[in-house]
Structure 1
Amino acid sequence: MRAVVFKGAKEPMQVEEVDRPDCPADGVVVETEACGVCRSDWHAWMGDWDWFGVPATEGRIFGHEPVGTVVEVGEKVQNFSEGDRVTNPFTLADGTCRQCQSGHHNRCERKMPMGFLDFSPGAYAEEYPVRAADTNVIKLPDHIDPVEVAGLGCRFATAFHGISQRVDVGPGDWVAVHGCGGVGLSAIHTADALGANVIAVDLKQEALDKALELGADETVKVDEVQDVPQTVKGFTPRSSGADVSVDALGIAATLQNSINSLGPGGQHLQIGLTTSEEQGEVAIPVDTMVYDEREFVGSYGMPPHEYDAIFRMMETGKIDPGKIVSETITLEQVPDTIASMGDYDTVGIPVCNEF
């Protein structure tokens, strides 16, 4: 089968013929219909995250926002059959640990991030495997377009989980989102659907325009203001600060601006992972956080059972992940699309749907 193959950090990736994946006894093999192209793939291609325990090695197949049709079923699988249209979270759980048993599959003690480990190949390929299918695989409603689903596996799911489950967002709350790439736009769209007032923060006017389209009420263009946190606070009642502020990019400046945009008792939601410049370490205003009782909260992926909420909100029109898809591309275009993400010119989510 054809797949995009990693050749080393910052080296051009190639489309090559590779062996089709073996089907795990407890898993399935899926024929790929679509796969989102994510900034996390760019991080791995750049050689980031060796400090995080996921160094990329030559020969790896990336791609962790998939949708497709089951073409092979392992002998231990009970809930899926050939022909089922499915997706899955990017973090593949084992279904047996304490975290999984309590419904937190995204925190699995033996989680395997799809496409980031040699023994967990991704979906920039004609077919991909999924372990522990009865735990990880999700059947798609008939009415959903595969391109709309392709962004759910990572960016939209992580943002949805973070906004709806990890922090307290309700009608009338003020939410600031720093960084309006795919995950930031997903957070904006979700917060708007939950009734919040949303402030979008970014350097690019095109990204801010997209944020307004997806539900933002106010925007802050970073290079046009002297103090980002104070500008954000100026939109909130009595300039007290945001109830929730999100770093959707993962660089020191956005993380610090996010925390400093909060009011007393506010919650900072960290979705973006850091680059080689930060290597996972960023200074934060600890005394201010203590004095104002601000919280620091992380969001990583989403448990499979939360997909039902997304599908229901899609069916009623409250959210539309398809609006965040910026373009569809071919498998041959994936390498250049990933490499170009270092220019931060992408607005929304590119999706590969030709294999």
Structure 2
Amino acid sequence: MRAMTFDEFGGPVTVREVPEPAAPPGGVVVRVHASGLCLSDWHAWAGHDTDITTLPHVPGHELAGVVAAVGDGVTRWRVGDRVTSPFVCGCGRCDWCRSGQAQVCPDQTQPGFTHAGSFAELVVLHAADTNLVALPDGVDDPTAAGLGCRFATAYRAVVGRAQVGAGEQVVVVGAGGVGLSAVMVAAALGAHVVAVDRHDGALEAARRAGAAHTVLAGDGVDVPAAVHALTGGCHVSVDAVGSERTCADAIGSLRRRGRHVQVGLLPPVDGHPRVPMSRVIGWELDVLGSHGMAAVDYPEMLARVADGTLRPGDLVDRVVGLEEGARLLPGLRDDPRTGMVLVDPHR
């Protein structure tokens, strides 16, 4: 099969023929119809996950497709089923998985990180009875492909972790895929959303997604001061980028007793990232991590997608083939994104 691969972290990304996978015990092989190109894929390529990622490697972790093969022991799925999956796949056996918290499973697998991912014609998903999610007829493949990481992560961050309520002020720092998703979800809940980004195009996309206000970040811009001027301080902040600066800007934008959700990864590029803990302590802020969303929590989100309350398909900017995806991946961190890019491995 054809797959996007790299042989060294930070090295060239190419498309080549690799062996087709077989379905493992308890798992399935899915024929990929669409796969989201996400900033987390850039982190894997850059070498920020060397503790779990081996070379050569096939990235890709957001996907939608059809079950192509079923391994021994799988009871809930058959060849031909339309499915998606969280990017964090639980083992299905531990206390966390049994209690519906597979996103923090200590024995988790992650396509595109712990094993070959979905920038390929076929991908393996483990513990299928725990991790696969059936796609309703009203949710098409391009819409579903962006759910597994960015939209589902944003949904759980806003709904499950921050528990955003109608009328609250929410600031979302970073208007890439997960940031735009957080804007859309918070706005759908009746919150007043401020979106922050370094690019005008991303802020325009945020306004289309439901942001009431936008702040153009950049050198010399005091983001917290700008947000406080607009809102008086937010009830909830979301760092959807994952850097020392964006984390600090998000926390600094909160009002006293506010809630901060850290979604963007904070790789220790220049040593352990500093977080303004004096503000956290003095203002009694809640700091919450959010790491994907378990498959058992998908039905509520999918119901809101199917009835049009949430429109993740509106966030899709374009669909490209494997070759174009391979060209885009190394520059993803600095690309002025205005929406989600999806990869169709059969294009």
Q: Distance in 2 between matches of 1:354 and 1:103?
A: 32
What is the CA RMSD across the aligned residues, in angstroms?
1.4
The equivalent residue for 2:153 is 158
Select 1:346's aligned residue among 322, 327, 337: 337
**What letter corresponds to residue 57 of structure 2 in structure 1?**
R
Are 1:327 and 2:318 matched, yes or no? yes
Q: Aligned-pair distance for 1:216?
A: 0.2
2:308 aligned with 1:317: yes
Aligned residue number for residue 169 of structure 1: 164
- Judge conservation of contact 2:74–2:128 (CA < 8 Å) in 1: yes
Whole-angstrom distance in 2 between the partners of 1:155 and 1:40: 9
Q: Which one-letter code corresponds to 1:27 in the other structure?
A: G
* 1:17 Cα offset (Å): 1.1
| Preserved CA contact (<8 Å) 2:151 2:178 | yes
Contact 2:121 2:345 (8 Å CA) reproduced: no
Change (3 A) 1:226 1:70: closer
Asked if structure 2 preserves the Cα contact closer than 8 Å seen for 1:252 and 1:278, the reply is: no
1:314, distance to aligned residue in structure 2 (A): 1.1
Counterpart AA for 1:32: V
Secondary structure of the structure 1 residue equivalent to 2:201: helix
Equivalent of 2:89 in 92, 106, 112? 92
Does 2:192 match 1:197? yes
Aligned partners of 2:120 and 2:345 also within 8 Å: no
Gaps of 5+ in 2: none
**Equivalent residues in 2 for 1:43-82 (5 A)?**
43-50=43-50, 53-54=51-52, 56-82=53-79
Partners of 2:10 and 2:60 in 1: CA distance = 17
Q: 1-side partners of 2:278 and 2:156: how far apart? A: 28
Note the C-alpha offset of 1:304.
0.3
Question: What amino acid does structure 2 have at the position aligned with 1:95?
Answer: G
**Corresponding position of 2:241:** 249
Q: Do residues 101 (structure 1) and 115 (structure 2) align?
A: no
Q: Report the TM-score when normalising by structure 1.
A: 0.94
Gap runs ≥5 in structure 1: none
Deviations 1:212-238 (Å, cap 9, x if unpaired)?
A: 0000000111138742101101122xx
| Paired AA for residue 254 in structure 1 | T
- Show the 5 A alignment for 1:211-222: 211-222=206-217
Change (3 A) 1:278 1:188: farther
Q: Deviations over 1:290-346 (max 9, x none)?
A: 221101101001010121112111122111111111110001212111112132322
Aligned pairs for 1:258-277 (under 5 A) are 258-275=250-267, 277=269
Task: Decide which of 113, 117, 120 is 1:122's aligned counterpart.
Answer: 117
Give the direction of change, closer, same or farther, for the CA distance of 1:222–1:43 in structure 2 (3 Å limit): same
The equivalent of 2:38 in structure 1 is 38
Say whether residues 1:21 and 2:21 are aligned partners. yes
- Asked whether the equivalents of residues 175 and 202 of structure 2 are also in contact (C-alpha less than 8 Å), the reply is yes
**Is the 8 Å Cα contact of residues 156 and 182 (structure 1) preserved in structure 2?**
yes
Query: What's the offset of the Cα at 1:86?
Result: 0.5
Deviation at 1:9, TM superposition (A): 1.6
Q: Which moved more, 1:281-290 or 1:252-261?
A: 281-290
Residue correspondences, number: 346
CA distance in 1, matches of 2:18, 2:264: 32
> Is the contact made by 1:32 and 1:67 (CA closer than 8 Å) also made in structure 2?
yes
C-alpha contact (below 8 Å) 1:86/1:140 kept by paired residues: yes
C-alpha contact (below 8 Å) 1:159/1:187 kept by paired residues: yes
Paired residues of 1:49 and 1:276 also in contact (CA < 8 A): no
Q: Is the 8 A contact 2:22 2:69 kept in 1?
A: no
User: Within 2, Cα distance between the matches of 1:115 and 1:87?
Assistant: 14
Letter in 1 for 2:3: A
Amino acid aligned to 2:166: P
DSSP 3-state at the match of 2:100: coil
Cα distance in 1 between the residues matched to 2:13 and 2:79: 31
Q: What is the TM-score of this pair, normalised by structure 2?
A: 0.96
Q: Distance in 2 between matches of 1:5 and 1:288?
A: 43
In the TM superposition, what is the alpha-carbon distance from 1:274 to its structure 2 partner? 2.1
- State whether residues 4 and 15 of structure 1, in contact with CA within 8 Å, keep that contact through their aligned partners in structure 2: yes
Q: CA separation in 2, counterparts of 1:159 and 1:256?
A: 19
**AA partner of residue 101 (structure 2):** H
Structure 1, 144-153 or 41-50: larger mean CA deviation: 41-50
